[in-house]
Amino acid sequence: MVTIVTTGGSDDFAFWLCQLIKGPEEVRKEAEIKVRQRIEGWARVHTNDAGKQEHLVDHVLDRVIQLGAKLLDLRKPAAFLRQVLRNRGKDLNRRDQVVRFHPLESDQFAAIEPGFEGVERAERRELVRKAIKALPEEIRTIVEMHIYEEKPFRQIAKELGLSRAVVFSRWKRALGDLRDLLPPGLDES
């Protein structure tokens, strides 16, 4: 049995991170608990949704395991991991925004626009499909890949030979164009 005494603070996190990655087997379980507690604190700052918090914590811990000793070579590993958490949180928020345009989730439209309840689900789906088909091809391709094929922007950029910034810019343009193309009641969603 190994007993470890720490002083607390930011150096404490670096210590436990090092123990998680390189420490003896009997210390790793305790180190994982300490590191997880710190990451959970960061996640609570970013979202109140318990499911998203758990997802963010798991994602950051996966990155710790993937990077291993390389993480310890960084000057500020805690700052790097906080940035990983923030970026993943942004990705989750973007996905939430995409769901609003996904034709299969069109029941959400009724809650957004009163009076839209009368349009059947199949009609709503068809309206969204027609609006997507009316987009210019360079934008439509990105929308279809992101919504129907559920590909992240990074993968779309790689497949199309574009930068992620260009893909995201076209995505934002597509959202604006869809608002213009969709009839009242669908454009807010």
pLDDT digits (tens, 9 = 90+) for 123-175: 777 888 888 888 899 999 999 888 888 888 888 989 999 888 888 889 988 88
CB atoms under 10 Å from CB of 188, counted, come to 12
CA distance 44 to 103: 32
CA distance 45 to 167: 29
The token pair that represents 28 in the structure block: 């790793």
pLDDT band per the 50, 70, 90 thresholds, residue 93 = confident
Contact partners, residue 159, CB within 8 Å, separation at least 6: 145, 151
pLDDT tens across 103-129, in order? 444 444 444 444 444 456 677 778 888
Contact partners, residue 111, CB within 8 Å, separation at least 6: none
pTM of the model as a whole: 0.47
CA distance 21 to 40: 18
- What is the percent of the chain where pLDDT is above 90? 7
Owner of token pair 């991170």: 17
Q: By the 8 A CB rule, do 69 and 21 touch?
A: yes
Q: By the 8 A CB rule, do 157 and 163 touch?
A: yes
Report pLDDT for 8: 46
Residue 181: what are its φ and ψ, rounded to 5°?
-80, -30
CA distance 155 to 32: 31
